[in-house]
Amino acid sequence: MCSHFRPQRKSLRRRRPKQKKRGATVVIVVVDDGGHLLLLERLDDTQVASIEAGIGKARTAAIFRRPSKVFEDQVRDGRVAALALPGATPLQGGIPIMFENKVIGAIGVSGNTPQEDEDIAKVGAASAASAIAN
């Protein structure tokens, strides 16, 4: 595992009880800046289909260097050509992980509502960035 992300694994494991308490049934995925899988956690009772969706959201945020919601918004606003972008999963819930103003990876979350997925991903990305900086 990339040394930047070792703290993320510990952070994810510490947050698992909080996520269970909230009733979160999600898959949480961390990828490097090339979109390669580093970490995947599927919480209890999360649908299996959320695995591929979470991976796609994380990869999209990493390789395009922006939240995956940008592409969902484009499709919703009529730019259906965004569906043809290789590697893009136009679903809310993928957030880039930034360190020293560079995208070093991304986190994707899938399983709850789109907004809840994105909220969890934002917390995870901020936590990762903070852990890496310290």
Q: What whole-number distance in Å separates Cα of residue 56 and Cα of residue 50?
A: 10
Asked whether residue 13 carries a pLDDT value surpassing 70, the answer given is: no
Which of 18-27, 67-76, 87-96 is predicted with the least confidence, judged by mean pLDDT? Answer: 18-27
Looking at residue 32, which CATH number applies to its domain?
A: 3.30.450.150
Query: What span, in angstroms and rounded, lies between the C-alpha atoms of 48 and 96?
Result: 23
In a domain, 121, yes or no: yes
CB 107 within 8 A of CB 128: yes
Residue 124: domain span: 3-16+26-133
Q: pTM for the whole thing?
A: 0.86
User: What is the reported pLDDT for 24?
Assistant: 85
How far is C-alpha 40 from the chain's CA centre?
10
Is 21 within a domain? Answer: no
The reply to whether 122 falls in a domain is yes
Render pLDDT for 31-53 as a digit per residue (tens, 0 to 9). 999 999 999 999 999 999 999 99
pLDDT digits (tens, 9 = 90+) for 102-114: 999 999 999 999 9
